Amino acid sequence: MFVSKVFRLPEVSPARRFPSFSACLPEDIPSRTADHGPEPPVRKPPKGSSQLNRWSRARAIRSGRRLDSPALRKMTAPHFSSPPPTSSSSSPSLSQLDEIPPSISDDFQDDGEVAAAKAIYMVSDGTGWTAEHSVNAALGQFEHCLVDRGCPVNTHLFSGVEDVERLMEIVKQAAKEGALVLYTLVDPSMAKSAEQACKLWGVPSTDILRPTTEAIAAHLGVAPSGIPRGAPGRKAPLTEEYFQRIEAIDFTIKQDDGAQPRNLNRAHIVLVGVSRTGKTPLSIYLAQKGYKVANIPIVMGVELPKALFEINQEKVFGLTINPVVLLSIRKARAKSLGLDGEMRSNYSEMDYVREELEYANKIFVQNPVWPVIEVTGKAIEETAAVVVRICHDRKQKCLMPRISKRY
C-alpha cells in the first residue's frame, strides 16, 4: 500500500504553523548519511537515516514554509480550479487535518511542487481499496521514473461514487486537471457513463477490474451481479471468515512481543527475532489474512520460553536482518522514543547489534526446522508472502505448492 514519495527540496528549518502539529509525528532525526559513506548512483542501500531525513523535510514542507528552489517555483498549479485552502486559518478542523500522516494527507494542493505532478484519479462505487491496491502495484513499475527522473504523481481516490451526477463532476474535474481516470464501477450503467464521459471530454480512462471480471464470467458461465459491495442485495459480511479474521487479530494483538507463551500452541505462525526485525507489523499483516500469529523477541540474556520448543516446530519462523540496516532502524526508533544516554547506546551500538544477531543466529542453527527469513530490503507484504508460501508448501509435499481458498 505504501509507495515511496520523493522530496527533492532544500533542507530548511521547520517552521510549524499549528501548535498541535508536532504532537503526531516523531521528533526530527538529524541526517546521518556520513555514517554510511558515499552512495552508488542508481540503487540506494536501505537506509533509515536518509529516509527519515526526507520525512523531516516533508514535514517542513507541510508546515508551510516557502519553497526556495527556482526549479520548484516555476512549477505552478495550472490545473486546479478549486480555490486554495485557507492556509493561515487556525480553525480546529484545519489543525486536525495536519495530524493526518503526510503520505495520505491532502493539503498539498497549494504546494507548487506537487501541483506539477501528473494526477491519477481512482473512482469507485465501493470502498476504492481495489483501485488503490492495483494502482499502487502498477505505480511500482514506474519507480525508476518517480524516484530517479522526477515525474511526481498524485493519486486521488474517490470512493463510494454511487450516482452519475457525482461521477460526471469527477470526470469534469479530471479533464480540468489533465488527470488519468482509473475506475472500478461494478454497476454496468455507471461504468458505461464513465467511459462515455471520459471519451467526450478527452480524458484517458481504464476500467481496472473489467478484464478480470469478464474472464471470470466467461469461466463460470455466469454474468456478474453489477451490485457494488455494501449495497443492499449484497450479502452480509458475518461469514465464518469474518469471525476467523477477528479472532486472528484479537489473538495476535494479545500475543504481541512474547506475551502469554502458554497460548503459543494455539498460533498458526510463530515469529522469532531480535528487536526491530518487523515482527509486530508482520504479525498484524498475517492476522488480517486470518492467521493467528505470535511473536517472540530474542533478547540476549533472556531465555526463550520453554513453550516455544514444545509446540509444533513447523510453525516457527526466524527473522534476520542486515546489522547496518538494523542499527539505523534502531537509532531512529531510540530517537523517536526519546531514549538517550546509556540505554540508547547499549540498544543501538554496532557491536551490540552484531552480537545480538549472532546470538539469534546460534538459536536458529540449533533449530534447523525453523526457516530463517532475511527481511533486509523486504516490505512487510513481501516477507508475509514468503512466510505464507512456506507454510503452504510444507503441507503440500506431494502437490504443486500453492495457496488455495474456497469460495
Q: How far is the CB of 15 from a second copy (least distance, A)?
A: 20
CA-wise closest residue to 286 among 259, 311, 263, 253: 253
Among 240, 303, 342, 351, binds a second copy (CB under 8 A): 240
CA 376 to chain centre: 16
- Say whether residue 74 binds a second copy (CB under 8 A): no
Long-range contacts of 302-308 (CB under 8 A, 24+ apart): 304/272, 304/363, 305/258, 305/261, 305/264, 306/261, 307/261, 307/262, 307/264, 307/265, 308/261, 308/264, 308/270, 308/272
> What span, in angstroms and rounded, lies between the C-alpha atoms of 121 and 155?
6
Q: 12 φ, ψ to 5°?
A: -135, 160
Among 168, 175, 253, 299, binds a second copy (CB under 8 A): 253
- Say whether residue 51 binds a second copy (CB under 8 A): yes
Closer by beta carbon to a second copy, 217 or else 350 = 217
> What span, in angstroms and rounded, lies between the C-alpha atoms of 247 and 268?
12
Among 60, 116, 126, 258, binds a second copy (CB under 8 A): 126
* Dihedral Cα 358, 362, 365, 367, nearest 10 deg: -130
Counting residues that bind a second copy (by CB under 8 A) gives: 179
Q: How far is the CB of 342 from a second copy (least distance, A)?
A: 23
Q: How far is the CB of 180 from a second copy (least distance, A)?
A: 4
Q: Looking at 21-29, 189-197, 344-352, 358-366, which segment touches a second copy (CB under 8 A)? A: 21-29
Residues 106-125, mask of contacts with a second copy (x by CB under 8 A) = xxxx----x--xx-xx----
> What span, in angstroms and rounded, lies between the C-alpha atoms of 267 and 251?
8
Q: Looking at 9-17, 33-41, 290-298, 341-349, which segment touches a second copy (CB under 8 A)? A: 290-298
Give the Cβ contact number of residue 54 at 10 Å: 17
- Say whether residue 92 binds a second copy (CB under 8 A): yes
- Say whether residue 262 binds a second copy (CB under 8 A): no
Q: What strands, in cross-sheet order, belong to the sheet with 293-298?
A: 293-298, 269-274, 316-320, 372-374
Among 33, 244, 345, 346, binds a second copy (CB under 8 A): 244
Angstrom distances, CA of residue 349 to CA of 180, 334, 361: 48, 11, 18
Closer by beta carbon to a second copy, 54 or else 359 = 54
Among 41, 74, 202, 218, binds a second copy (CB under 8 A): 218
Residues 353-372 that bind a second copy (CB under 8 A): none
Q: Looking at 31-39, 47-55, 193-201, 358-366, which segment touches a second copy (CB under 8 A)? A: 47-55
- Say whether residue 403 binds a second copy (CB under 8 A): yes
> Quick check: 289 and 246 in contact, CB under 8 A?
no
- Say whether residue 15 binds a second copy (CB under 8 A): no
Among 13, 19, 23, 70, binds a second copy (CB under 8 A): 23
- The size of the chain, in residues, is 407
Q: Which residue has the cell 469534469?
A: 172
Closer by beta carbon to a second copy, 157 or else 372 = 157
Q: How far is the CB of 224 from a second copy (least distance, A)?
A: 4
Residues 162-201, mask of contacts with a second copy (x by CB under 8 A) = -------xx--x------x-x-x-x---------------
Among 3, 77, 175, 363, binds a second copy (CB under 8 A): 3
> What span, in angstroms and rounded, lies between the C-alpha atoms of 52 and 58?
9
Among 73, 199, 289, 362, binds a second copy (CB under 8 A): 289
Q: Looking at 30-38, 44-52, 67-75, 347-355, which segment touches a second copy (CB under 8 A)? A: 44-52
Residues 315-334 that bind a second copy (CB under 8 A): 315, 325, 328-329, 332
CA-wise closest residue to 8 among 54, 74, 73, 76: 54
> Quick check: 272 and 247 in contact, CB under 8 A?
no
Among 71, 78, 163, 243, binds a second copy (CB under 8 A): 243
Identity (one letter) of the amino acid at 305? P
Q: Which residue has the cell 536501505?
A: 46
Q: 120 φ, ψ to 5°?
A: -120, 120
- Say whether residue 157 binds a second copy (CB under 8 A): yes
